[in-house]
Structure 1
Amino acid sequence: MPITLHRDLPAYRILEREGVMVMSDDDATRQDIRPLRIGLLNLMPMKIATETQFARLIGATPLQIDLTLIRMSEHQSRHTAPEHMESFYHPFSEVRDQRFDGLLITGAPIEHLAFEDVTYWPELREVMDWTQTNVHHTFAVCWGAMAMAWHFAGVPKHELDAKAFGCFPVANEAPASPYLRGFSDECVIPVSRWTEMRRAELEAAGMRVLLGSEATGPCLVEDPARRALHIFNHFEYDTDTLKREYDRDVAAGVPINVPGNYYPGDDPARPPLNRWRSHAHLLYGNWINQIYQTTPFDLAEIGVERAG
């Protein structure tokens, strides 16, 4: 089954050309099936690239997905056209009374700030609390994952001596997890961050590491108490995402290492290889499937038992 997107959304045309099954809103209403309602709280500055990356992954499953794009109510994007935001995004204040089968919370390039210093932190805290009553399962990415772990469990983020930047192997530590069905014993994932969360502190807070690395620490963590996954790295990245970050910093004169294990022979003059795409689809497909297996058919029932 396809993912339902507005026909005018740039991701619709991009994914259609790639062969991903997409369906317009009008076509979806003619199907007698309840799609899974998935929200994407997009905190990244380059909205279109990020929404396309996640739509690509969750749109490759056999289930019909109704994707709702969400933004912080008062925060204004400086890198995406206001017309795009007005046409396709809903401020959180407009969806707070709705229920969702799943919610994705992206990262944000603000790792150097204390959480409390982020301008939209008070509303983001409202969003995270709202997931406990209005969302069946949450999947938070990179800074968004760190924000959830801090908000709910007081797990701190720690500054790294040098940026973790490149493609790093991670070990499958929970092969029986439904989220890791079909995963190899080891896989590679893009990493781009200046901070980390530490295994001992996550586990002390009741969380379980599913994917981990000796070089870059925990990667994928399950928080069963909050029905959430946290991933600190970036399976959703395009093939050239790390290259664009590297080229940007080089052009700006910012000291940056060549992303490790990314270019063939670590030579930035050669095209990078994508060695994480299959596991990216596995993980997000498993997440969607697990939601489908456990979510109530009636959306109105999401959160009822937990709130009571």
Structure 2
Amino acid sequence: MPIKIPDHLPARQTLEAEGINIMDSTRAARQDIRPLQIGLLNLMPNKQRTETQFARLIAASPLQVELTLVRITDHKSKSTPEEYLSTFYSTWEEVRNRKFDGFIVTGAPIAHLPFEEVRYWPEMIEIMDWTQTHVHSTMFICWGVQAALYHFYGASRKRRENKAFGVYRHKNIKPNSPFLRGFSDDFAVPVSRYNDIDRDTLPKGDGLEILIDSDEIGPCMLEDPSRRSLFMLNHLEYDSTSLQEEYERDRKAGLDTAPPVNYFPDNDPTKKPRNIWRSHAHLLFQNWINEMYQTTHYDIEKIGTPNED
């Protein structure tokens, strides 16, 4: 089944060129089916690229999915025109009374700031609490993970001496998890972050469990079944050239950023990078959507009610 996204969203052309089946509003209205409702709170500056990355992975599902793009209510983007946002995005205030089967909270390039100094932190607290009553399954990404672990559990983050930047090997710690069904024992994940989660501050015996880990750069993905939440610190959703473009941007800005490790062939930035994580990205999102479909209510308004579990 196809994904339903706004009819004129620029990501549509990219996805259709890749052979992904896109559904328009007219066709969706003719089908007697309840599509899964997934929201994407997009906190990244390059909205179009991020929405395309996640839509690509969500659209690979055999289930019908309707994707709603969401933004912070009063935040003015410096890189995305307001006309684009008002056309394709809903503010959180506009969706706060809705229920969602799934909800994704992306990363944001503000890891250097204490959470309380982030201008939209009060709204982020409201959104994170809202996911516990209006969303069946939430996936937090990168900075979104750091924010959620801090808010829900008081977990601290540690600033790295050097940025973790590249494609790192990771271990499947919980192969019987439904979210890791079909995962290899050892696999590659793109990483781009300055902060680590301090393991010592993670709660013990509170249901929070590490699913994917790395000896080199620490936890990658955690789950808390009681909150119906996944926490993915790294970036399986990245395009083949995401790290390359970030590296080139840093260099143009005068930063002494080393080439991303294990990314360019022969560590040569002039050579085209190979995508060796794509299959696991698709697998993670298909597992997440399948588990969501198996456990959510047919009546979406029952999400968050006392009999949710």
Q: TM-score range by the shorter chain?
A: over 0.9
In the TM superposition, what whole-angstrom CA distance separates every residue of 1:208-230 from its partner, at most 9, and x where no partner exists?
A: 11110011100010012211000
Return the offset for 1:202: 2.6
TM-score (norm 2): 0.98
Return the offset for 1:307: 8.8
Match for 2:252: what amino acid?
A
TM-score (norm 1): 0.98
Match for 1:153: what amino acid?
Y
Structure 1 runs (4+) greater than 3 angstroms displaced = none
Identify if the C-alpha distance between structure 1 residues 266 and 75 changes in structure 2 by more than 3 Å, giving closer, same or farther: same
Matched, 1:75 2:89: no
Aligned partner of 2:296 in structure 1 is 295
Report the secondary structure of 1:174's partner residue: coil
Return the offset for 1:200: 3.8
Aligned partner of 2:30 in structure 1 is 30
Q: Which runs of 5+ in 1 are unaligned?
A: none
1:27-176 mapped onto 2 (5 Å cutoff) = 27-176=27-176
Q: Once superposed, what is the RMSD of the aligned Cα atoms? A: 1.2
Same amino acid, percent of matched pairs: 52
1:200-239 mapped onto 2 (5 Å cutoff) = 200-202=200-202, 204=204, 206-239=207-240
Inter-partner Cα distance in structure 2 for 1:266 and 1:273: 12
> How many residues get paired?
308
Inter-partner Cα distance in structure 2 for 1:34 and 1:139: 21
Identify if the C-alpha distance between structure 1 residues 162 and 265 changes in structure 2 by more than 3 Å, giving closer, same or farther: same
Return the offset for 1:304: 1.1
Return the offset for 1:306: 6.4
Is 1:68–1:89's contact at 8 Å kept on the other side of the alignment? yes
Aligned partner of 1:263 in structure 2 is 264
Aligned partner of 1:248 in structure 2 is 249
Is 1:145–1:230's contact at 8 Å kept on the other side of the alignment? yes
| Greater displacement, 196-205 / 159-168 | 196-205
Report the secondary structure of 2:219's partner residue: strand
In the TM superposition, what whole-angstrom CA distance separates every residue of 1:11-62 from its partner, at most 9, and x where no partner exists?
A: 1111011011211121111111100000000000100000000000011010
Inter-partner Cα distance in structure 2 for 1:158 and 1:289: 34
Report the secondary structure of 1:8's partner residue: coil
Return the offset for 1:203: 5.0
Is 1:199–1:209's contact at 8 Å kept on the other side of the alignment? no
Inter-partner Cα distance in structure 2 for 1:303 and 1:4: 24
Match for 1:242: what amino acid?
L
Inter-partner Cα distance in structure 2 for 1:175 and 1:199: 21
Return the offset for 1:102: 0.5
Inter-partner Cα distance in structure 2 for 1:306 and 1:200: 34
